[in-house]
Every structure is written in C-alpha cells, then in structure tokens.
Amino acid sequence: MVKAVRAQRSGADTDLCAWRGSRSDAAAGGGGGGAIVWMRSRLRGRRPGIARADRDTRTMLHPLFLALHLLCFTQSMTAFQATVNDEGLIVATLDSSDLQENVTAYAVQISGEPRTILIQFVNTSEPLLYNASFHGLCYTVGLLLRRGQAWSRPMKTVAVLTKPLPVRSAQILDYKEAPETGVVFEIDPPTRNVFSRVNISYAEGQERRSMLYKDFYRGKTVFKHWLPGMCYRNITFQLISEATVYQTALVTHSDITHTPLHHRTVPHPPLNISYKIIHLSQRAAPGQLPDMLPHDSGQRSPRQARDVPLMEEREEEETQAEENTSDEVIGVTYAPFNSTKVLTVSAPIDVNNSRTEEAEPSSYWLDPTEPSPADKDEEFVNGVLPEYEDSNEPGSAMALPAEPSVLPTRLPPILLELRWLPPRPPTSYDGFNVYIYRDGNSTETATVDESTHEFFTELTEPGIYRVQVTTLSSSGDCESRESSGDTAFTFYLGPSGELLEDLRERPQAVSVRLLDSSTAAISWAPSSQNHNGSLVSVVSTTCLKPSLSQRMENTYCSEENSTSDIITNLTPGAQYRVVVYHTNGPLISPPSEPVIIDIEPTGVRELTVYPLSPTAVILSWQRPYHVAFRKYVLQTFFFNPVTLASEWTTYYEIAATASVIASVRVTDLLPAWYYNFRVSMVTWGDPPLSCCESSTVSFVTAPEAPHISSVDYSHGILYVRWTYGELFIDLSHSRMLHWQVVAVGKKGPEKTYSVDVTRNVMRASLPLPPGDIYNLTVTACTERSRNTSTPNIIKLEPAPPRSLYAVNATHSSVTLLWTEEGVVDYYQVLCRPSKASKEQLKALEPQTSTSHVVTISGLIPSSSYNCTVTSFSYSTPSKPTHISVSTVAKEMNPSVAAISALAVLSILLISLLVLFLLVLRKKHLQMTRECGAETFVNFASFERDGKLPYNWSKTALKKRKLTSPVQLDDFEAFFKDMSKDSAYKFSLQFEDLKSIGLDLSHDAADLPINRPKNRYTNILPYDFSRVKLISMHNDEGSDYINANYIPGYRHNKEYIATQGPLPETRNDFWKMVLQQKSPIIVMLTQCSERRRVKCDHYWPFNEDPVMYGEVSVELLSESESPEWIIRKFRLGYADESQDVLHLNYTSWPDHGVPTVNAIESILQFVHIVRQQANRTKDPIIVHCSAGVGRTGTFIALDRLMQHIREHEYVDILGMVSEMRSHRLSMVQTEEQYVFIHQCVMLMWQKKKQQSITSDVIYENASKT
C-alpha cells in the first residue's frame, strides 16, 4: 500500500526541470490544478511553463534518456531510478545499494505540480507508483531518508517528463484576409495538459511535409504560406512537451487520435476579363455562327470602306487590349444563351458550318428552386454597398422593381464574346466557370478546361445581364473551390438590341443646401459616364433612435427614393442620410458617399418659472409638435459669489419624450438672486445642434426667511438681531432690498409697530409700549417677493406707575393719582400703616383699580401710611411704586356719629360694587382671552414649544378655542367622572366642539369645477389651510384637492388630512404625494365596506408600473398581517424618483371605533407609523373615506402618544378643537372622541409600567 504525505517545499528542494521554447499553454482542469504551472530551477531561474506530450517518439528520444540516466547515475552514484511507464505513471524503485543503516523509512518527494507530494515506501523491494495530475509536465523525483522522526533532504534526484495527451479535435478555416494562401488552424487540447509546440503534418501533392508551431493562442494560429487552389491532405496535429535538465533536453510527443483533415485553398480569379457584344446581320442564317467568328486560320474578314456591314462590333473600353490571335484558335466555347447544354470546343471552330450540336430548346425561365451562383456570396455589381443597404426597409434604391415580368420579345441576333487570361501564378486550377444571369433569375453555367480562355454565346432575350468568370480548382481529395472576388460585369440589352453599359462610377461631390427648416436642395458633379437619370435616396437616422414612447417624427423613417433634387417634408431637429445614384435605364450606379443633413431644431415655447422655495423653482415649457431632438439641456446664468463671475452652466439634461409639456425642479439656488434659465433642444447629430438662445427666462428667487437670534428690551426700546442663511452670503450682489421689522401688539393703541432696515444691517431698535404681548417678525424683501421669519412672541413686563401723587388727604382717606405707562389691565393699591404689626400687615388686602386715580378710605386719622401702586398686565405685576401719605387729625362735632355711620355704609356698598365689578371684569378678561378676535393661548398649542403661538391675524380664525387640561395622575378619575350619567359630560364637550370652524370659508371647494372632486358634499376643506397643487396651467381649479394641513406635535404642517381618492382625483392624489414629498401614506379604510365604495383602488394591482397622469407608480413590495397591510411604492416623475410607504389599517369600521380589545392593536399601528415618521420632517398623508372621522382619531392618537412621552398632562379637548379649526369635523363622532380618552388611559398605564421613561411605547411593535 502506498502512503501519500504532504510536505512543504524546503529551501534545499531543487527542481531540475526548465522549460524550452518561447511559450507554453495549459488548459485548466479539475482538482487542485491551475491554468499555469510554475517551475523552479536553480540553473534557469523562474519562468512559467505550460505543456502537453506523446508516446510515439520514444525511440527518437532514447539517446536523450540514456544521457539523462547516465547523468543521474554520475551525480548520485546510486541505483535509485524514476521513470514514466506506458500508462503515464511515475515509477520509483530502490536498489539494495540505496538501503542504509539506521534508516527507519524511505520516501520520494515529487515536485513540479503546484504542491509537493511526499510518498513513503511501504516495501522497499517493490516499486512506488504515482499517478501524475498533469500530462506533458517535467517532475523532479527525490529520495528522502528518515532517521528517527525527521526526514532528510533529498539524497538523490531524478527528473522525468510525462507524456502529453493527444488533441481531441481540430478544424481548418479560411483566413478571411487572404483565403488564397492563408488558413486558421484550431485545435482542442485536453485539460491538465502541458505542451510547448505543435507538430503539423500534411501531404502536398506526393510529398509529406511537417512544421513546428509554438504560437497557438487559445488553441488557434494563422498560417499564411500555402499555395492558391492547392489540395492539402491528411493534416494532423501532434503536441510536443520539452524540458531541459542540466542542459540536457527532454522531449516527448503525444499520440495522434483525431481524424486527419483535408483543405483546399481558394484559387486566384482569372485576369483581364473582357467582353464584346456582336450584332449579327439579320441576313445571317438562324443558328449559324457569323463569319467574324474565329476560324482555322484565326484571321478575321477585312472590313472594306463603303461596304454594308453584316455585323456591328462593340468592345468594352475598360479591359486590356487583346493581343493578336494565333494561327489556330484553341479552347473556344460557344453556346446559345437559352440552351441548357453548352458545347465545349477544344479544336478550331469551322465558322462556315452549322453548329456541331443543336441546342435542345428549353424554357426561358429557370426553376426558382434551382440554386445558382448568384445565391452565394457574389454581389450584384450595381447593388448598394453593404454599409448602405437595408434589405428590410422598403423603398431602398436597390429594391426598384425589375423590368415587367412579361414574356420579352426576341432580340435580333446578338453574340456575347468573353475573353480572359489565366489566374496569377502560382495557382493550382482545373478550369473556369462561366455564369450568365438575366434579370436576376435566369442562369446559364458553363465549365471549360484550364486551356480555354474564350467563350461565345448567343443572347436571345432583352434584359439586364450579369456575367461572371471564376477559376475552378477541383482535383484531388478536397472539395472543389472557386475563386472569390468581384469579377462580374453588367450591361442592359433593350428589346431592339440597344446596349446600355454598366455604371461603375459613383456620383461625386454631392452637397446639400437647406432652403428652410423642412426643405433641402441636392446637387452633385457631372459624371464622365453616360447616364440618363439620377436617383436620390433619403432616410432619417433619428427616426428609430428614440423608443416608441418618444416617437416624434414619421417621415423618411424608411428609405425613400425620388428622382427630384428637392427634398421636402423634413422634420426640424432630425438628421438625414442622403445617397445619390446614377441610372442608365434599369441600371444603377454604385452609391455616392453619404451626405448627412442636420437640421436645427426649433426652440421651446412658454418657458415659465414657478417658485417653490427660496432655493428651488419648477421650470415648465412646451415643445413644438413637429420636431425631433435627443434631449433638453437646462442651463443657468447667474453671478457666482465663489468665482466672482457670471457664465452659462449646464444644470440638467432631460431625455426627449413624446409629452408636449415638460418640467424640471431646479434646486440649490441662491436666495434673493437673479437668474437666467435657458432650455435648449439638442439633436442626435455629431456634433449635435441646439436651439435656441431666445428660449430664456429671467427670475429673482425669493429671499430666505431670517432667523431672529436675540431680543432685548430696555427703557421702552426693543433691540432685535437676526441672522440670514446658514452660510454667509455677500448681500451686495443679491437682489435683497431691505429688511422690515414688525411688532404687532395685542392691546396697544396702535398695535402695529414697524421699521425698515437697509439690507447690509441685521439689527434694529423698535420703541414699544411695555406690558403688552407682541408678535415680532423680520421680513426679507426683494422687488418681487418677501419671506418672513418665524414669529417670535414677546411678552413685555408692565411698567411701574409714574408720577405718583397723594391728594385730597382727610382724616380717614387719601386720593392717589399717577400717570399710566404702557399697557395695563389693572392696578393694585396697598396702603400699610407705618407702625403696623406683622399680623396686621397680613390682614391687609390690596385695592384693585382700572383707573389711574383711586381713593383709599378707612384710614386712621393722624397716621402715616406707606402706599404702593403696582401695574398688572396679563396677570404679570410690575415693580411697585412707593409713596408715603399721612391722614389729618379728626374734628369732633355733633353729627360725627351719623356721618360715620353713613360713611361706613357707603364704604360697604362701594366695596360690594367694586367687588362685583372686579368679578365681572375678570370674567370679561377671561372671555377676551378665550373668545377674542386675536386669541393666543391654548394648551394644545402651548404643548409644542412652550411659547405662546403666533396669531396669523386672519379673519378666518375668529373662532372659539376650547381647553380642558387634565393631569395624567388624575386622568382615570377624570374619565370616570366624565363617563357618569351615560357620558353626559362627554356629550357636553362634544357639543361645544361642533361650533368650531362654522365661520371659516371653503370657497374653492364650492367652485362648480371642483364640486365633482369632493366625495361628500358636506366635507369641504377650509380655504386658509387647504393643500394647493402646483399646476403648470393657470386653469381654474387646477390647484384643488380635498385636503388640509393639520398641525402636529412637532410642527404646524405635520399631517395632511384628505379624503379617499376618487377615480377622477387619483392623479391629483399622487401629484400631491410627489409635490409634498410625503414619505408615508396612512390608509384607514378599505376600498369597499358594507357593499359601498369608500375609496378608489388608487395604486397598481401588481408589480408593473402604472402611470397616474405624469407620475408613475410601481409596487415594490407588499406584506400582510391580520389587521394591516404594508406596501412600498416607488414614484417616478421625469428622472426623479421617491419611495413611499403605504400603511393600510383594515379593521377600523366606518363612523365607528375598534373594539376595546383592539385598542392595543390600533396603538401598535400608530407606533409603527410614528417609527417611520420620525425619520422625516415632511407631512404624513392620512385618509379614510371622508378624511375626518377615522383620520382625525388617528392624528389625535399620534399626537397624544408623542405628548405623553414628555408631559404629565393632556388637553384632549383643546387638541381636537385645534384640529377642527383646520379641517371640518375632525374626530367626527362622540364615540370616536370617547375612544381617544380610552386610548390615553392605556398609554398612561404603559408609561407608568416602564422602568426607563425614555423607552419607546410598545417595544413589541413589528418594524417594517
């Protein structure tokens, strides 16, 4: 048994094999072998080698093997041997002289493959066998000894060369560049085979030849030195492997197992082919040869002056002049053209006798199924060149109909004489083939021997004749071959025998002159050949370039021919190829060099700019109906503040479409900057043409909204600073005019205070009365647009009263008088005795007054008091103003008692009256804050940023604001209290909600053109908050969709509440999704509920993209769970795309709520939506059927879920009131209103159960 062990190649391991030859190739095989085997040799360095071998040359290499063995014996002085047997196995044997003492094991180390093999001798008296993985490879076999546990280095080394495997198959092909002398040898060697050269053997005539080739790249090589027309037989391929060991060559050959091949090269064509058309006399006897034909003496009859000729002779000018004929004409062939048999004559022709063999009559038309040489690779001499010909296109110049296929009249006696010279030597040939075609479907073929160089035949029918003479090589075992190349000529014989020569000259100097955008004139140079007409061929090169959806031209899409030199009906922007042919009767010349016509396109129309933001606009335009172009190129021209230069730059390129209207979004613009936009139409030409510079529009972008950075109020002056833009922009180059700082007060006498500031200054001071709440804004102004900062609510503390005086002091009262400062709701006056105790001070109550004059009564006579007057505005006190007053001494008289009693009674009555007035005023103030035209405070709005909200001062917002904040710790008790008596208190709150928004307008929804767009006639969007579509048209109603912005927890346009799309509004719905960049659509209904249609199926049914207007929608994925379905869409418009997540909750009944057991499910769904919404700031689109009930409930739950994470109270009434002030009937039913409270209880319970308050509610929610 043979044991194989892997060993690492050591530094002492020496490969004896070095490859010979300049190149080696190997095919990759299975196992661990590779495509290239690397050999190492100390003597020759490192070089790649690839090989293959054969066993037939064993006797040839015997001396080499003897020398190698002698060398090995001399080196090692041992009997250790390694050989390769007939099966390709490496055999290693030990002799008794190799055995040594203290050696525990013997092994051989075999190197040469990518890995080194170590094989141990099991029995030293038996040979060790190794099956080599590669054939034709040189292996190094070394003897190793083991003493103890370590193996020695190779003690003795022998090199062996394995035999390559034979070629599996081979083929021989014509060398296309020169098939007369060149061939391509292609072999298929086995895998894991190594060879350095290939021995090619073949028989040429009676001789056997061979040659060695080493340049076989990928099994192919080209040989260019064979003889034309020669038959090469018994061609074989044998692989040779070679190696060098100590400057001794090792060579081995593969066997030959493939079938020997035969190949004949193509012969050269005949030289100097010429023809004559001979008109025989009408008096000549039918069937007889004319006197002019060659006869025994080879002489022609002399032609005398004034003789009446019996024949006319015409000779082709382009051929070489014939030499004098010999005394005897040898090898002349004559035959009538309409005969199926031909007469080959190898002796002189007797022109005085009749034909030696009568031609059997046959039909004029040949069998169309019979193959003819014209069906081969021969080419019609007048045909369109391959680069211009399109056989699939009707109207091609070469597709002109042939002469009418009626039985032609018989021609007068006409004889065709052909002459040629032998092919260029050295050419092996046996004869010539003569082919005559008439009108492309009649064929006559004659074969003559190699000594015949003339041929005669009678032409009996009119038509277009094509004549060809080829060299024939057929002797030997190889297949017959004919010469290739165009040796044919063409002429036309008319019915009366007139001759029209072939046109070989192509039209020259063809030029095109455009007369206008749809007409061109063609001209060319005169021809030196006679012709009677010309043909102009026109085809559009741009017609088929766009896809069918982009097809914008329909003329010249297929080649059209005309005899006129004026081309009409051209399309602006298209490119045409024009080719001219000369015609001579039915004969057509070769085509001229093609001339390309590039027509400049017409420009776009109605280029319009629609602003989107300070840094983005939409450009829209229309293209002409009749135009062809490749793309639109949008360019911008503006002053670049970085380069300090203005130049036209390409912003975007849009592929041409069949749509008449096109648009593109332009972003990354500079705010308040002057821009020129130009849209050019670019053609397909090279170089392309473009038009037009006049398609330009100018625009000034809107300024960015300033950001108020600091506000400071001191001594009645408000100091404001602001910033503009994230990066500093030099405003000296912008179109910014100035800043406008505006403060709108709530109660002040003037209310509005403003100041204009130059554009280079970003600070202002504004005098404002103290004690009021101001809405402060900074507006950036250009000549065309404005942009206002986020409102900043400023609450100024009231100023203390000024100029406080005490007048009319008596023994029990004093009157205080002061000057008002700013805005004050009321004053508090408190007079404390100078020597009062702490208990007395605590018992004192301040006196409230709305006037700047107050009388303090009930004072102690002759006492000192410290009085303070404090201003109050919005329940905020000012710093008090102090004054010290003293009462006068009391005067005693009889009527004191009565007067005192009356005074006390009066004071009591006045106090009661004042108290009553204060209560009424407090209620009035409360109602003013809640019901006034410019209300500011609302808990649902206050929750977002902790600041008082900005009042837009729109008359449409004159509505009642409701609020009912509840601490979450008390919410469960609150809910139980509200649920008593059949939820009577819930009913009262919900009734109050019904009055919200009754005075808000919805004029756009009431327009007649918009009424069909509303699913329900009583659910209409408010005008001030409705979503407006961006439309390329200014048509009435084009911007309308039944949708409103709804404020959220994070910002004022966090949601879009809309109705379920109708079939006629689905396009508008997807337009809204794209324009608002909404990443999420929440659908809370099914398309059909209770057998009623609630919503249109506005998305694709399968994965095929569907166009909704100009927006394409593609369904990317869909996953379904028991209560909701999650879909992912991809929207496309022009070259923009947007992915949208569609979450459809399917278990929510119309006008109702999910069951109590389903609260967990709906909250889990809300959490899934919120997880996705946190990744974007763009609005979420929410819809059910009407877009108010289920939609409002969902939005409320999403807002409350965010609110409860960060607050300890809720104001559900205030939140729903705010939602209803933006869209009618949000949270449509009382049942839905109560359901929100139930969900809040569960959310609060979940929050209390969490150990870490920052954890997200419902962690077990499935993630998309």
Q: How far apart are CA 1160 and CA 1158, in angstroms?
A: 5
Residue type, 689: L
- Under 8 Å between Cβ of 907 and 915: no
- Cα angle 1038-1042-1045, degrees, rounded to a multiple of 5: 105
For residue 146, how many other CB atoms are within 10 A of its CB? 14
- Under 8 Å between Cβ of 689 and 571: no
Structure tokens at 743: 């403060």
3-state SS, residue 69? helix
Report residue 1204: phi and psi, to 5°: -65, -25
Enter the DSSP assignment of 1137: E
Residues 6 or more apart in contact with residue 73 via CB below 8 angstroms: none
3-state SS, residue 990? helix
Q: How far apart are CA 118 and CA 6, in angstroms?
A: 5
Any catalytic annotation for residue 1184?
yes
The residue with tokens 């394995």 is 162
Q: How far apart are CA 808 and CA 260, in angstroms?
A: 144
- Under 8 Å between Cβ of 981 and 1230: no
SS3 content of the chain, % helix, strand, coil (to 5): 15, 35, 50
Enter the DSSP assignment of 876: E
**Surface-to-core class of residue 353, CB atoms within 10 Å of its CB (0-12 exposed, 13-18 middle, 19+ buried):** exposed
CA dihedral of residues 1016, 1019, 1020, 1021 (deg, nearest 10):
-130
Enter the DSSP assignment of 96: G
Enter the DSSP assignment of 956: G
Residue type, 961: K
Rounded alpha-carbon distances, angstroms, from residue 731 to 55, 705, 734 = 92, 14, 5
Residues 6 or more apart in contact with residue 418 via CB below 8 angstroms: 273, 274, 275, 434, 454, 455, 456, 467, 469
Identify the CA nearest to 957 among candidates 1019, 1025, 1052: 1025
Structure tokens at 335: 């035959």
Q: How far apart are CA 642 and CA 636, in angstroms?
A: 16
HEC string of 790-804 equals CCEEEECCCCCCEEE
Cα-Cα-Cα-Cα dihedral sign, residues 493, 496, 498, 500: negative
Cα-Cα-Cα-Cα dihedral sign, residues 872, 878, 881, 885: positive
Q: How far apart are CA 691 and CA 1017, in angstroms?
A: 50
Strand partners, 863: none
**Surface-to-core class of residue 455, CB atoms within 10 Å of its CB (0-12 exposed, 13-18 middle, 19+ buried):** buried
Q: How far apart are CA 550 and CA 746, in angstroms?
A: 61
Structure tokens at 649: 């730059």
Residues 6 or more apart in contact with residue 541 via CB below 8 angstroms: 575, 576, 577, 596, 684
Cα-Cα-Cα-Cα dihedral sign, residues 290, 294, 297, 298: positive
Catalytically annotated residue among 478, 691, 867, 1184: 1184
Structure tokens at 50: 């690839």
Residues 6 or more apart in contact with residue 596 via CB below 8 angstroms: 541, 575, 576, 577, 578, 685
Q: How far apart are CA 698 and CA 690, in angstroms?
A: 20
Q: Which residues are catalytic?
A: 1184
